[in-house]
Amino acid sequence: MKKYRVAVVGATGAVGRELLGILSEREFPLCELRLFASERSRGQTVRWRGEEYRLETLEDLDVFSGIDLVFTCTDTEVSRRLVPQIRARGPLVIDDSAAFRTEPQVPLVVPEVNPEVARNHQGLFANANCSTIQLVVALKPLYDAAGIVRLVVSTYQAVSGTGAQAIEELRAQTGEALAGRALQPQVYPYPIAFNLLPQIGTFDERGDSSEERKLAQETRKILGDDRIAITATTVRVPVFRSHSEAVNIETQEKLTAEQARELLARAPGISVLDEPDRALYPLPLEARGRDEVFVGRIREDRSIKNGLNLWVVSDNLRKGAALNTVQIGELLIERGWM
């Protein structure tokens, strides 16, 4: 099997570190690995498969001319600036940030949902937002069977969705709060320990947050249907890992809860946990470190004609970010679309 020269930019971040673990677990076919981070990490090393890798900074971008595939796990602003310069040196880029997701010529790929859009590419792929990925994996089998008219989504999002600094903020604040000391928020506008923040990103003039807009735009792009009406409320919660979503769906055709359960149970990437009598339903602590999108609390919404409710939980750093990114790379290799 052919092996590829791979680079990870943002290798020290929450997504980058998870991605390195997944490249190893899944034995991604690589023959060379280069790791990049910011000036802050200059001189540091990262251990991968028993070997020490020195972190490189991005002074000489010509190093990318010897690379086949680059995973960029950097902030949107950094990706927006860097990715075109890396692309100009030749490698394919799969970018985790929000910089290119809505650009029409950039495939936004969730391999279980829309693998075919990866075929026609111009060398750049976007990985969707973490809250979007788990949502579309759960929606796809229902969409194919019955069509979707409208979605009402409420999210309960873990701090790791904000990155490594936010994980540290929750950890430190939890200790401070239990010790009765005043909390000093830095990453978020208010303390996150023992609190909920109904703000993810920045608000527009209508009062929607950027996360709420991304969820709607990306869901329509990935399902390939601009007509779906979507409204969302996204909330940051004091959970380290795994996003949870309460999803209300109005389908075009009637689906019973039992039909929905069967469709979901057969779909790739989904694990149905739905035995309410035994208090069995998806939980963020149980989803942590797992690859699947977990779906439970599947029931009809009797307030409308064709309504369904779902509770969807998945590890935002795995399926919501690093795993999906690696799966896009694997898809390109398997189908010969590199």
Ligand X SMILES: NC(=O)c1ccc[n+]([C@@H]2O[C@H](COP(=O)([O-])OP(=O)(O)OC[C@H]3O[C@@H](n4cnc5c(N)ncnc54)[C@H](OP(=O)(O)O)[C@@H]3O)[C@@H](O)[C@H]2O)c1
Binding site for ligand X (CB under 6 A): 9-16, 36-38, 40-41, 58, 73-76, 78, 96-98, 129-130, 160-161, 163-164, 316-317, 320-321
Q: What whole-number distance in Å separates Cα of residue 195 and Cα of residue 238?
A: 7
Give least dist CB 216 to ligand X, A. Answer: 16
Is the sign of the CA dihedral 79, 80, 82, 87 positive or negative? positive
Residues 73, 230 contacting (CB under 8 angstroms) = no
- Residue of 204, 238, 211 whose CA lies nearest to 129: 211
Give least dist CB 179 to ligand X, A. Answer: 26
Residue corresponding to tokens 């910011």 = 38
Residue with smaller CB distance to ligand X, 73 or 118: 73
Give least dist CB 21 to ligand X, A. Answer: 13
Residues 194, 170 contacting (CB under 8 angstroms) = no
Give least dist CB 184 to ligand X, A. Answer: 19
Residue least distant from ligand X (Cβ): 13
Residue with smaller CB distance to ligand X, 129 or 271: 129
Angle at which helices 164-178 and 14-25 cross, to 10°: 110
243 is catalytic: yes
Residue with smaller CB distance to ligand X, 160 or 327: 160
> Which of the residues 31, 73, 121, 130 is marked catalytic?
130
Give least dist CB 32 to ligand X, A. Answer: 19
| Contacts for 188 with CB less than 8 Å, ≥ 6 apart | 162, 166, 169, 197, 236
- Paired tokens of 164: 């490594």
DSSP state of 230: E
Give least dist CB 220 to ligand X, A. Answer: 18
DSSP state of 99: S
Residue with smaller CB distance to ligand X, 86 or 260: 86
Residue with smaller CB distance to ligand X, 202 or 256: 202
Residue with smaller CB distance to ligand X, 55 or 230: 55
Q: What whole-number distance in Å separates Cα of residue 43 and Cα of residue 87?
A: 26
For the stretch 296-333, what's the b/e string if a residue is b when 16 or more beta carbons lie within 10 angstroms of its beta carbon?
A: bbbbbeeeeebbbbbbbbbbbbbbbbbbbbbbbbebbb
**Pairing verdict, β 124-126 and 45-48:** unpaired
121 is catalytic: no
- Paired tokens of 95: 């970018």
Active site residues: 130, 243
